[in-house]
Amino acid sequence: QGRVRPQLRAARFPPPSRPISAMDRNRSRSPHATSYEDISQMIVMREQARLGKDWSTADSIRQKLHAAGVSLQDKARTWTTSDGQTGRIPTFSEIESGQTPDLFTAQQETTIPSVPAGDGTEAHIKQLVQMREQARAVKDWTQSDQLREELKALGVEISDKDKMWKSSSGASGVVIGYRGAGGPTDLEITTLVVQREKARQSGDFATSDMIRDELKAAGVQIQDREKIWRATDGRQGAIPSWDSIQTGGGIQSIAPAAAVPGVAQGNAGSLRNQLVQAAMAAAANPATAARTLQLLQQGGAAVPMTAAPKATPVPIAAASKPSAECVEAIDFVKSCQATGRPPMDAEIDQLVGLREKFRQSKDFTAADELRSAMRTALSVEFHEKEKRWSAPGGRQGLIPSWS
């Protein structure tokens, strides 16, 4: 019943279908000639060696990958090449589970293809945008800025706030890719849903349809009749009304599929979200009180009048609630738990950084709630004295400083 030695666990992982010598011959023809399959196989072999504490072999493979133009980001568990390819480094848990290198490689080959020739085509722009998002995910700001400048040279402007890009040629697209193969983030989805509603309201149906199609390709279905969007991983949320967007309540909370069992409940939830957002806005700015009253009058049929006596303490309660940014982060944590999808290291880094932002602004309630949610749902532990976090599977990262 003792622990199985790492060497034995690693041995359960079948060898790659092609020997390293064959990969070396491919690479000798060109410094960037190594195929995606070869790189992924070598990545897996290196993780096998690291799991078995065979540091000599692990270092040797790293050197071969470096000579082939492959950069490894162990902290973020991703790799990139100088010609635009990128992929994920498997976790020790995946290796121990018996997943074969061929299966892992096949899964990765569908994520991000190599960047096409720099001709300014829409396909080329999309790849550059996605590469920039993944550079931002691993906090490679130098690479991110270089890609932004490259896009600017092609006449492409990126709006990170709106999650959209526009070209001087008239083409436009969405900014998705922070999680790579993990699918769009909650922020990407909700922001683009709002952008689509704005396009529809202004009669720009070409942009509206483009956003809908891009979200669909990323696994997000928009159901206009039910005013709900649904992701293939079980997440879903309400599509905000134009009135809600105008009052600043466009970004809605995300919930797993079980949270909205029926369309009627989804519509009621949408209305409640609008009212809560409007009430919070009114609490922060009395000038919006008229809009709050109007929304309450519009929702009179759905909201019982008996709820009116409870309206007085709402501003006080709203003031003590965590920020919308904290709510969104906790919703993301809960969605990971509900769907059984472990977050990527880059996502944990983002959550950890957000918690530090709350602490810096002295919003200790939000910081504590986010830490508690991450500990309970994701088993992420914070080691404050050592300025690092740890997660199951031996994963860990740094807690950023406030400066």
Report, as an integer, the average pLDDT of 310-327.
Answer: 57
What is the pairing mode between strands 220-223 and 228-231? antiparallel
Tell me which of 274 and 172 has the higher pLDDT: 172
Number of Cβ within 10 Å of residue 147's Cβ equals 22
pLDDT value, residue 309: 45
Q: According to the per-residue pLDDT averaged within each range, which of 168-182, 233-247, 336-350, 354-368 is highest?
A: 354-368
187 token code pair? 């922020």
Q: How sure is the predictor about 306, in pLDDT bands with cuts at 50, 70 and 90? A: very low
Least confident of 279-293, 327-341, 364-378: 279-293
Examine the pLDDT at 240 and tell me if it is beyond 60. yes
pLDDT value, residue 350: 85
pLDDT value, residue 244: 73
pLDDT value, residue 221: 93
Examine the pLDDT at 279 and tell me if it is beyond 70. no
SS3 343: coil
Percent of the chain with pLDDT over 90: 16
Q: Rounded to 10 degrees, what is the CA torsion of 237, 243, 247, 248?
A: 30
Examine the pLDDT at 267 and tell me if it is beyond 80. no
pLDDT value, residue 193: 92
Query: What's the CA gap between 393 and 307, in Å, rounded?
Result: 48
Q: How far is CA 341 from the centre of its chain?
A: 12
219 token code pair? 């696994």
Q: How sure is the predictor about 303, in pLDDT bands with cuts at 50, 70 and 90? A: very low
pTM score, whole prediction: 0.41
Mean pLDDT of the chain: 73
Q: How far is CA 158 from the centre of its chain?
A: 18
Report, as an integer, the average pLDDT of 8-21.
Answer: 44
pLDDT value, residue 299: 44
Beta bridge partners, 70, equal 81
Q: How sure is the predictor about 323, in pLDDT bands with cuts at 50, 70 and 90? A: confident
pLDDT value, residue 120: 59
pLDDT value, residue 208: 92
Report, as an integer, the average pLDDT of 288-312.
Answer: 46
pLDDT value, residue 107: 61
Report, as an integer, the average pLDDT of 140-164.
Answer: 88
Q: How sure is the predictor about 322, in pLDDT bands with cuts at 50, 70 and 90? A: low
